[in-house]
Amino acid sequence: MVYFTQDKEFAQEVLNKAEAYYVQIASDLGYPRYSAFWTWEHRVKIYIYPDRQTYQKVSNQPGWSEGMADYRNKRIISYAHGEGFLDTLLPHEMAHLIFRDFVGFKGEVATWLDEGVAQWAEPLKRERVKVVSQYLLKNGRFFSVADVVNLDIRKVSGNNRVAIHSIRDQDGKRTLLSLNGKEVVDIFYVEAVSLVGFLIAHYGADSFTEFCRQLRDGKSLEEALSFAYSTRISSVEDLESEWLRYLRSEN
């Protein structure tokens, strides 16, 4: 359901796109059979305010915020800002909501997984993630998967230096990178979507669903990986090496 006060045409476009994203995200997450999940009183509500100022006043969000997903009330709140809304914010926030709802997470979802799934729903990011990953890989800027899954991104801020381990290079060695907070956040987001994209695109949606269900049921990351990807991955180290093999396999 889309709530708006102005620009009916834009609201209609939001509605059409939202329906299409819903189908795509549900199938990416391995839930095509439950596509009735969000019908009737379970429908998500999308609030479009006429401008940024009104949005920020109503939502009480910080100045940089373009929109937000409210899990508890299943709402997406933003303002009419054209392409950025339709192509980026809408699929991203919908994916956050669908992911929690479908998988049935009760508590916290690991940030890398949550942000990875949300970005994978953005058509432009999905298209570019492999190329961007390969660029970072070539420049020795990628963080070890162990550091990515344990990083509390909320504690990383702008200019503070952060020490973080690199991935294993071709000789199997790691180096200690020292970057500023902003770079760490940017690379973290790329790796998050790169890892999720790798798991979904390379092994399929069913295994990914199984992996998420294991996590939801309280299994550790390694247990969930072994369960869903037993033939190839049974540890965070394996996840890193399989993912790197995938990235290095094509140009």
From CA 95, how far away is CA 76, in angstroms rounded? Answer: 11
Phi, psi (degrees; rounded to nearest 5) at 176:
-95, 115
What minimum distance in Å lies between the beta carbon of 117 and Zn ion? 9
> Which CB atom, from 66 or from 238, has the smaller least distance to Zn ion?
66
For residue 199, give the DSSP letter: H
What minimum distance in Å lies between the beta carbon of 178 and Zn ion? 26
What is the residue whose two structure tokens read 């940089």?
64
> Is 233 one of the binding residues for Zn ion (CB under 5 A)?
no
Total residues found in the chain within this entry: 251
Q: Which of 235, 233, 213, 238 is nearest to 113 (CA)?
A: 213
Site residues (CB under 5 A) for Zn ion, limited to 98-117? 115
> Which CB atom, from 120 or from 246, has the smaller least distance to Zn ion?
120
From CA 243, how far away is CA 233, in angstroms rounded? Answer: 10
What minimum distance in Å lies between the beta carbon of 192 and Zn ion? 9
Of all residues in the shown chain, the one whose CB is closest to Zn ion is 118
**Which H or E run includes 76?**
strand 75-79
What minimum distance in Å lies between the beta carbon of 82 and Zn ion? 20
> Which CB atom, from 90 or from 118, has the smaller least distance to Zn ion?
118
What minimum distance in Å lies between the beta carbon of 174 and Zn ion? 28
Phi, psi (degrees; rounded to nearest 5) at 33:
-75, -20
> Is 118 one of the binding residues for Zn ion (CB under 5 A)?
yes
> Which CB atom, from 78 or from 207, has the smaller least distance to Zn ion?
78
Give residues in contact with Zn ion (CB under 5 A): 115, 118
